[in-house]
Amino acid sequence: MDVKTIIPDLERLDGTIDELEESLEPLLKGLPEMSSELPLLDKAKLMTLTAYSIESLLFSALRLQGVDAANHEVMTELKRVKQYFAKIQKAEEPPAQRTTSVNTEAATRILKADLGSNSKDLKQKLEEKLAEERAKALLNSIQNSKRPAQDHTSASQGKKQRGGASASNGGSQQKNKKRKA
């Protein structure tokens, strides 16, 4: 490469670095004050992005100097900062709903087998607890499967229709009994 062809590229690079310094100066100068006003998650993002910016600039500077940056300590720092990005992203996600549940039947069998040689009092307490748990489970399943209540007018009309139909059926049944007699 000829020096004359590289000079314009170096001048552009120098100008870009000057612009970058001007852009980063307000951020780095007021970083403690700015971060103290932010919520914890945003503060972590700001600090991580700042560290990543500085480390990537060092990486670029090493590459421009012809140093093997892939085997340099800067690369390990960049990887560490990327791990922080992953942790922040994980913290932003809502917690997953628990899907595991206790198999009460299996637990009952295990406890009964284990308590087989123990006192009757202990067995009785276990049976009471099991009955309680079954009742709670039944109550929860009933509450979860309830249908919405009908409004008052449609419920009373339904009763009248059922009552009227049964009265007419009952009346015709009584007439049939009298005829047979």
State pTM to two decimals.
0.44
Residues 116-169: tens digit of each pLDDT: 655 677 778 878 888 999 999 888 888 887 655 554 444 444 444 444 444 444
Q: How many residues belong to the chain?
A: 181
Which is higher by pLDDT, 44 or 1? 44
Residue 25 near residue 34 (C-beta atoms within 8 A): no
Radius of gyration of the chain (CA): 39
Residues 87-125: tens digit of each pLDDT: 999 988 887 777 777 887 888 778 777 766 556 777 788
Residues 16-68: tens digit of each pLDDT: 888 888 887 877 787 788 888 889 999 999 899 989 988 888 888 888 888 88
40-64 vs 73-92: helix crossing angle, rounded to 10: 150
pLDDT at 166: 45
pLDDT at 82: 94
CB atoms within 10 A of CB 100: 5
- Residue 60, judged by CB atoms within 10 A of its CB (0-12, 13-18, 19+), counts as middle
State how far Cα 38 lies from the chain centre. Answer: 23
Which is higher by pLDDT, 122 or 178? 122
pLDDT at 81: 94
Token digits of residue 84: 């922080």
Residues 6+ apart with CB under 8 A from 75: 59, 69
Instruction: Give the distance between the most distant pair of CA atoms in the chain.
Output: 128
Rounded to whole angstroms, the Cα distance separating 150 from 160 reads 15
